[in-house]
Chain A
Amino acid sequence: MITEPPSSPDHTEIRDLVRDLVATTFTSEKMRAAAASPLGFDEVAWKQMVDLGWSSMALSEDVGGDDLGAYVQCLVHRELGARLAPTPYLSCVALGASALTMLADGRGDDLLTRIGSGATAASLVLSHGRGWAEGSSPTLTARETGEGWVLDGSVGMVLDGARSDVLLVVAPVGDAWGFFEVEARVASVRRTPVPVVDATRSLADISFDATPARCLRDEPVTTAQVSALVDRLAVYLAAEMVGAAASCLRQTLEYLRARHQFGKPIGSFQALKHRCADAAVAVTVAQELAFAAAEMIDADDDAGLRLAAPLLLARAGEVFKDTAEECIQLHGGVGFTDEYDIGLYYKRALVDNELLASPVDAYARMDLVRKETIA
């Protein structure tokens, strides 16, 4: 927005490459067509993204990645968000791969390699639904039988849950958690797509009935580890929200420069200008918070991220929704028609504000961490 966090030549080069490709691949028409297709995304575009290494850029080299870090991956998320690109990138590369990297003890490496190469699409299923794990109520159970682990129960509204090959499940085991891989296309897994207001995102309810699961880690996963995973997911999701908010505002600024009333561009009216200025400042701050948090991931600053991630998720969510609402109003009548994309950004904001944690819940998490930090 007003400031641009990435400033190193490496980062700006990657940003420009990503931006150019996303702009041509996800024009308004193509984005809408992909979202409306049976699969919900454009397979050719997705393959192209994989071929360019976007799905493996942040993975470590021993699983075929480029080890470029979270900051660089956030550049991709931001640009995909800017065009509301319908792709499995968030569910698979951010959520799935992060869970495997952080929770599996080496047993997930084959899967990581396959995610990186685009061979396998994986979705993350948190048995407590969404959000940070402390104090949550799981709706799934995992138990060990003579033939191995099995899962029972259901989880609602899983991102890309209906179209993934593999489900990565965090489920309670005793006082802690287990981390499991489930083959999605088996009879004991029921996946019910739930159409949502934003057609560019795909969600599904999932239930398990004595479903066999492969345990990806011997040691129990602690609640703190699950929450650390959520911290990281929050940053990737926030990067998409920030990109979308900025893009929505940019399109609105273009409209305000072009649309004339009373013989003047409507963007010359101070009442509208000031609202744009406020929105631009809010988006700029959210973007700064997002890339600062991404830097914390790359610097292994877990303590900083614990506080920064919920703050960021709440702010990015609020700012995206507020901006989208403002942009509809600033467009006047056409703002609430389906012919303009502005309404699609609003719908994306509604969905993104629910995916991981609502701003209120993220703030509650932030309060908890702040209390601990100060005490």
Chain B
Amino acid sequence: MTTTLMDRTLLGPELPAVPYDHPFRAELRAWLEHHPLGAEPLAQDEKFAFRRAWHRELAADGWVGLHWPTEHGGRGADPLTQFMYYEELALAGAPEPANTPGLILLGPTLMVHGSAELKARFLPGILSGDEVWCQGFSEPDSGSDLASLRTRAEMAGDEWVVNGQKIWTTFGQYADLCFVLCRTERGSERHRGLTLLICPTDQAGVTIRPIQQISGDEEFCEVFLEDARVPAEWVVGEVGQGWAAAMTLFGFERGDQGYTDHARMLVALARSEATLEESAATGLVSQPRADQQRQVHRDLWVRIQGLRQLNYRGAVLSAQGQEIGAVGSMTNLVWGELEKELGTARAEASGIRSIATGRHDTHGRLHSRAASIYSGTSEIQRNIIAERLLGLPR
């Protein structure tokens, strides 16, 4: 059995540094053609299992963590290769590998700030997908204002003892390990006195409670830390320097070319366009509604082309070794707003059917409402752009 891959013309004009006839694309495409995916289940536990299996399948042939250095099991792929990687995966209709946060956020942060021992202990499991990671940053009273966080850790004997509560921890219920940002200096304020710890989740002091979303998913969790234990040396970076490590992680989050995934959006949009035409032909969607939705689809296509160009600029700059922080805030803002509108358009393409549950488009529309909120709300991104990039006063 083989997978049918969608045509690259769907992505828009060819970009010079990532040509469609690049040998890397051919190599990945050949592999993808012989690794059929099947349809991703809608129910979350099955979906996560599906993604975990997909992660392992990719990892078995060295197709995850391409941007990781070879010493850590990656290919040392440059950002332009990553760009092509995500485009080809999207054209194959591939899901996210289960351990994406580990691959793009936690692993790379560990490489920058972790000790040799921590890297040797944890990186292989991230790559193989055997150990799934989650991130414990936000707290109930510290969302956009992260530096106000209150979770604290103190040394007791040869262990850290952690107390507090985290929230919005993505796929915490499936995770083996959690990056916990906590206050280790008594009386410290804001970004001082924070430390980034690696906390095992399978212990009495850690309770993980999924939060049900309007989509029915439970992608985010509350994490209750009640005398949770962390080995003394499981500190990422220096004690008291957790803010720097967190900032490094945010840099990866904003900069990752897959996170701001234009190719997946373009594939979803093409499918939505096809669905709309079917719906118009069968009368499921009226002609006035179809006409209006065609305009919506076109507008989305144009704007996703803009996102693609921004992502491309980010990849080119990163490949030249330049900082792309600025590009990251923009792609995040553009991506979040587009994702919501795309989710809406996909559902609208099926008219009244889109209110029935148990459908990917119904689910997708509800799910997409989170896109401009998590990883920094659109409003926070606009503040960052206005203050740090445009120099407007605080």
The 4 closest A-B pairs by CB, nearest first: A273-B386, A304-B13, A277-B382, A285-B306
Min distance, Cβ A148 to any Cβ of chain B, angstroms = 42
Which of A253, A264, A278 is most buried by chain B, counting CB atoms within 10 A of its CB? A278
| Nearest CB in chain A to that of B385: its residue | A277
| Nearest CB in chain A to that of B12: its residue | A307
Give the complex CA separation of A363 and B297 in angstroms. Answer: 12
- A280 interface residue, CB < 8 Å from B? yes
Which residues of chain B come closer than 8 Å to A265, judged between CB atoms?
Answer: 392-393
Give the complex CA separation of A179 and B317 in angstroms. Answer: 43
Q: A3-B330, A267-B392, A277-B390 are in contact. List 4 more A-B contacts (CB 8 A).
A: A7-B317, A281-B334, A301-B14, A373-B9
- A289 interface residue, CB < 8 Å from B? yes
How many chain-B residues does the 8 Å CB contact rule pick out? 38
CB neighbors of B among A356-375 (8 A)? 363, 366-367, 370, 373-374
Known contacts A7-B320, A257-B392; A308/B13 CB under 8 A = yes
- B10 interface residue, CB < 8 Å from A? yes
Which one of A77-85, A89-97, A184-192, A292-300 is at the interface?
Answer: A292-300
Within the complex, which residue of B12, B310, B391 is in contact with A284, where a contact is CB–CB below 8 Å? B310
Number of A-B contacts (CB under 8 A): 110
Min distance, Cβ B77 to any Cβ of chain A, angstroms = 21
0/1 interface trace, chain B 294-334, chain A, CB 8 Å (1 if under)? 00001001100111011011001100100000110010011
0/1 interface trace, chain B 359-394, chain A, CB 8 Å (1 if under)? 000000000000000000001011101110111111
- A64 interface residue, CB < 8 Å from B? no
| Nearest CB in chain A to that of B7: its residue | A374
| Nearest CB in chain A to that of B381: its residue | A277
Known contacts A281-B333, A285-B334; A276/B310 CB under 8 A = no
Which residues of chain A come closer than 8 Å to B305, judged between CB atoms?
Answer: 289, 311
Query: Can you list 30 A-B contacts with CB-CB less than 8 angstroms, sorted by A residue number?
Result: A2-B326, A2-B327, A2-B390, A3-B327, A7-B317, A253-B391, A256-B392, A265-B393, A268-B392, A270-B379, A274-B382, A276-B392, A277-B382, A277-B385, A278-B382, A280-B389, A281-B330, A285-B306, A285-B307, A288-B310, A288-B313, A289-B309, A292-B13, A292-B15, A295-B16, A301-B14, A303-B13, A311-B302, A315-B302, A374-B9
Min distance, Cβ B332 to any Cβ of chain A, angstroms = 10
Contact A273 B306 (CB under 8 A): no
| Nearest CB in chain B to that of A268: its residue | B393
| Nearest CB in chain A to that of B17: its residue | A295
Which residues of chain B come closer than 8 Å to A273, judged between CB atoms?
Answer: 382-383, 386-387, 392
Contact A268 B302 (CB under 8 A): no
| Nearest CB in chain B to that of A319: its residue | B306
Contact A288 B392 (CB under 8 A): no
Which residues of chain A come closer than 8 Å to B298, judged between CB atoms?
Answer: 363, 367
Min distance, Cβ A131 to any Cβ of chain B, angstroms = 18
Known contacts A304-B14, A311-B305; A267/B393 CB under 8 A = yes
- A314 interface residue, CB < 8 Å from B? yes
| Nearest CB in chain B to that of A301: its residue | B14
Contact B13 A296 (CB under 8 A): yes
B interface residues with partner A (beta carbon < 8 Å): 9-10, 12-16, 298, 301-302, 305-307, 309-310, 312-313, 316-317, 320, 326-327, 330, 333-334, 379, 381-383, 385-387, 389-394
Give the complex CA separation of A270 and B9 in angstroms. Answer: 41
- A153 interface residue, CB < 8 Å from B? no
Which residues of chain A come closer than 8 Å to B334, judged between CB atoms?
Answer: 281, 285
Give the complex CA separation of A121 and B52 in angstroms. Answer: 66
Give the complex CA separation of A188 and B176 in angstroms. Answer: 85
Interface SS of B by simple majority: helix
Give the complex CA separation of A295 and B393 in angstroms. Answer: 36
Contact B10 A374 (CB under 8 A): yes
Known contacts A274-B382, A292-B309, A315-B306; A2/B330 CB under 8 A = yes
Which residues of chain B come closer than 8 Å to A367, judged between CB atoms?
Answer: 298
Min distance, Cβ B134 to any Cβ of chain A, angstroms = 30
Contact B313 A5 (CB under 8 A): yes
Which of A277, A304, A373 is most buried by chain B, counting CB atoms within 10 A of its CB? A277
| Nearest CB in chain A to that of B13: its residue | A304
Give the complex CA separation of A270 and B394 in angstroms. Answer: 9
Which residues of chain A come closer than 8 Å to B391, judged between CB atoms?
Answer: 253, 257
Contact B13 A307 (CB under 8 A): yes
Contact A257 B393 (CB under 8 A): yes
CB neighbors of B among A43-68 (8 A)? none
Which of A3, A276, A278, A363 is most buried by chain B, counting CB atoms within 10 A of its CB? A3
Which residues of chain B come closer than 8 Å to A281, judged between CB atoms?
Answer: 330, 333-334, 385
Which residues of chain A come closer than 8 Å to B16, judged between CB atoms?
Answer: 295, 299, 301
Known contacts A2-B326, A3-B327, A374-B9; A280/B385 CB under 8 A = yes
Give the complex CA separation of A272 and B383 in angstroms. Answer: 10
Which residues of chain B come closer than 8 Å to A314, judged between CB atoms?
Answer: 302
Which residues of chain B come closer than 8 Å to A289, judged between CB atoms?
Answer: 305-306, 309
Which residues of chain A come closer than 8 Å to B333, judged between CB atoms?
Answer: 277, 281
Give the complex CA separation of A278 and B306 in angstroms. Answer: 14
Known contacts A257-B393, A274-B386; A288/B13 CB under 8 A = no
Min distance, Cβ A320 to any Cβ of chain B, angstroms = 15
Give the complex CA separation of A7 and B322 in angstroms. Answer: 11
Known contacts A7-B320, A296-B13, A367-B298; A276/B309 CB under 8 A = no
Give the complex CA separation of A288 and B306 in angstroms. Answer: 8
Give the complex CA separation of A288 and B312 in angstroms. Answer: 9
Which residues of chain A come closer than 8 Å to B301, judged between CB atoms?
Answer: 370
Give the complex CA separation of A311 and B264 in angstroms. Answer: 20
Known contacts A284-B310, A289-B305, A307-B12; A276/B393 CB under 8 A = no
Give the complex CA separation of A276 and B298 in angstroms. Answer: 25
0/1 interface trace, chain A 306-348, chain B, CB 8 Å (1 if under)? 0110010011000000000000000000000000000000000
Which residues of chain B come closer than 8 Å to A256, judged between CB atoms?
Answer: 392
Which residues of chain A come closer than 8 Å to B12, judged between CB atoms?
Answer: 307-308
Min distance, Cβ B169 to any Cβ of chain A, angstroms = 28
Give the complex CA separation of A292 and B307 in angstroms. Answer: 13
Give the complex CA separation of A257 and B391 in angstroms. Answer: 8
Which residues of chain B come closer than 8 Å to A366, judged between CB atoms?
Answer: 302
Which of B16, B302, B386 is most buried by chain A, counting CB atoms within 10 A of its CB? B386
Contact B306 A3 (CB under 8 A): no
Give the complex CA separation of A278 and B384 in angstroms. Answer: 12
Which residues of chain A come closer than 8 Å to B330, judged between CB atoms?
Answer: 2-3, 281, 284
